[in-house]
Amino acid sequence: MEFEKLLGKHISVFEKVIGKDFENKLHGKYLYYIPNKDIKKYFLEVSYYAISIVVDKSDVLESISLRFYKIIDKQFYSSLVNKYRVPNSILVPSGSYTITSESITKEDSDSIVASTRKREVDLREGTFNEKPFVMIWKKENFYIQAFLRYEQNISEITFSIDGSPFIIKPK
């Protein structure tokens, strides 16, 4: 699936394309996940488990994020490069990070559905072999940001119209 082609489209188009295997139980939040672990969805031959989106006030897609239960490895990185070319920027941590805020989203049963942390990290340009924090592609009509969270063994790839929802500023 080419998620970048869904950017700028109405949310109803997105929901038709992703199909009925996903659920969204957060009422008003746009986090779609696959409740049945036997169902697998793939992006460049790597399975992902959730999609989150950001829409504008007219319900038009501004960004789409895919979440993976693995770190982007050399093979997955090569697939990304084959499809989107070399990233414009590969940012690696140049020191420690500081958590500046944290929030937790819970369902009615008080089980945690999502946890969000805002952290500040000193970054520098680097290479894929240096365990990047984020890789950024600036394409003609969209951006791609791939975040690698080594301590959690997960990755997230976000397609967006304007580089949001994340702001990355190398120092």
**Tens-place pLDDT, residues 102-131:** 777 776 666 656 667 676 778 899 999 999
Q: What is the pLDDT at residue 27? A: 53
Number of domains in the chain: 1
Q: Is residue 70 part of a domain?
A: yes
- Residue 139 lies in domain: 3-160
Q: What is the DSSP string of 108-130?
A: TT--EEEEEEEEEEEEEE--GGG
Q: Is residue 154 part of a domain?
A: yes
Q: Is residue 117 part of a domain?
A: yes
**Tens-place pLDDT, residues 48-87:** 888 888 888 898 888 888 999 899 999 999 999 999 999 9
Q: Is residue 106 part of a domain?
A: yes
Q: Is residue 169 part of a domain?
A: no
d(CA 124, CA 89): 10
Q: What is the pTM of this model?
A: 0.79
Q: Is residue 78 part of a domain?
A: yes
Helix (H, G, I), strand (E, B) or coil at 2: coil
- CA angle 60–86–137, rounded 5-degree value: 25
**Tens-place pLDDT, residues 25-41:** 655 567 777 767 777 88
Q: Is residue 74 part of a domain?
A: yes
Q: Is residue 168 part of a domain?
A: no
